[in-house]
């Protein structure tokens, strides 16, 4: 059986945005990849040891990330301002989608729980928050139709749902803190 090849995955996604049908074709590529979780796992470190976010490709035309969510993490609502394809290959990711309001605030709309092998394809104006409600680590491939890190984006305060400029370092710090406490909780030994 063919295993996952990270370089081929990135090359296929780039071909899709350069000469193919872009987002639709990337969704097929991601779907094929997450249909074989063991194949991806052979390319990456075990979930509990993985960095929260590993950049596989970053350019103006495409960003591909390997993401590992710690147990019980609950991230701020945010936009991407570019299309996104998210495929889960381990654990669970609950998506809450929001409606944009005229004053810039947002209101909760629909939701969708994603499990291993599930893929969502999101339009450029989508606002969502993501949550891992389980004690398992959630592992995913994220592909974005642009430069994820330098494109100006918005996140929304958890309590007031007011907009704030998105700070990727703030999000990364939140994730790393959740990961550190999750690792401590699973390390054998006496608890404080
Ligand atoms: Fe997102």
The predicted-structure confidence for 53-69, as pLDDT tens digits, reads as follows 899 999 999 999 999 98
Residue 192 included in any domain: no
How far does residue 129's CA lie from ligand 1's centre (Å)?
Answer: 7
Segment 119-126 shows an average pLDDT of 96
Domain of residue 92 covers 6-185
Distance 87 CA to ligand 1 centre (A): 12
Please report, rounded to a whole number, the percentage of residues in the chain having pLDDT higher than 70: 95
The pLDDT score that the predictor gives to residue 192 is 40
Asked if the structure places residue 20 within a domain, the reply is yes
pLDDT at 2: 60
Q: What was the pLDDT predicted at 146?
A: 96
Q: What is the pLDDT of residue 189?
A: 47
- For residues 2 and 88, the model is more confident at 88
d(CA 71, CA 149): 24
Q: Confirm whether 170 is domain-assigned.
A: yes
* Residue 105 CA, ligand 1 centroid: distance in Å: 17
At 77-120, the pLDDT tens digits run 999 999 999 999 999 999 999 999 999 899 999 999 999 999 99
Q: Are 132 and 94 in contact (CB under 8 A)?
A: yes
Is 155 a member of any domain?
yes
Mean pLDDT of 163-168: 90
Question: In this structure, is residue 24 part of a structural domain?
Answer: yes
Give the pLDDT band (50/70/90) at residue 190.
very low
The mean pLDDT value of the chain amounts to 91
Between the CA of 146 and the centroid of ligand 1 the distance, in Å, is 13
Supply the CATH number for residue 17's domain: 2.60.120.10
The pLDDT of residue 1 is: 59
Tell me how far apart the alpha carbons of residues 46 and 50 are, in angstroms, rounded to a whole number.
6
Residue in 40, 39, 35, 41 with CA at minimum distance from that of residue 117? 35
In a domain, residue 11? The reply is: yes
CA 133, chain centre distance (Å): 15
In angstroms, the Cα distances linking 82 to 11, 63, 85 are: 20, 10, 10
Considering the domain boundaries, does residue 136 fall inside one?
Answer: yes
The number of residues making up the chain comes to 192
Secondary structure string (H, E, C) spanning the chain: CCCCCHHHHHHHHHHHHHHCCCHHHHHHHHHHHHCCHHHHHCCCCCCCCCCCEEEEEECCCCEEEEEEECCCCECCEEECCCCEEEEEEECEEEEEEEEECCCCCEEEEEEEEEECCCEEEECCCCEEEEECCCCCCEEEEEEECCCCCCCCCEEECCCCCCEEECCHHHHHHHHHHHHHHHHHHHCCCCCC
Distance 3 CA to ligand 1 centre (A): 27
pLDDT of residue 3: 84
Ligand 1 centroid vs 46 CA: distance in angstroms? 23
- State how far the Cα of 23 lies from the Cα of 31, in Å rounded to an integer: 12
Please indicate, yes or no, if residue 181 is contained in any of the structural domains: yes
Tally the domains of the chain: 1
pLDDT of res. 51: 77
Predicted confidence (pLDDT) at residue 185 exceeds the cutoff of 80 = no
Over residues 40-64, the mean pLDDT reads 91
Query: How far apart are the CA of 12 and the centre of ligand 1, in A?
Result: 22
pLDDT > 90: what percent of the chain? Answer: 69
């Amino acid at each position: 059986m063919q295993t996952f090849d990270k370089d081929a995955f990135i090359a296929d996604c780039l071909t899709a945005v350069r000469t193919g049908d872009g987002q639709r074709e990337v969704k097929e590529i991601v779907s094929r990849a997450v249909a074989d979780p063991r194949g991806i796992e052979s390319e990456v470190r075990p979930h509990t040891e993985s960095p929260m976010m590993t950049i596989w490709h970053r350019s103006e035309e495409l960003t591909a990330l390997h993401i590992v969510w710690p147990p019980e993490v609950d991230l701020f609502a945010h936009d991407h301002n570019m299309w996104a394809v998210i495929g889960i290959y381990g654990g669970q990711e609950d998506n809450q989608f929001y409606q944009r309001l005229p004053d810039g605030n947002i209101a909760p709309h629909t939701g969708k729980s994603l499990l291993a092998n599930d893929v969502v394809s999101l339009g450029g104006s989508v606002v969502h928050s993501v949550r891992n409600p389980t004690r398992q680590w959630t592992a995913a491939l994220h592909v974005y139709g642009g430069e994820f890190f330098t494109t100006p984006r918005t996140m929304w305060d958890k309590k007031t749902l007011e907009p704030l400029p998105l700070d990727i370092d703030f999000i990364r710090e939140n994730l790393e803190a959740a990961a550190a406490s999750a690792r401590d909780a699973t390390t054998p030994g006496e608890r404080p």
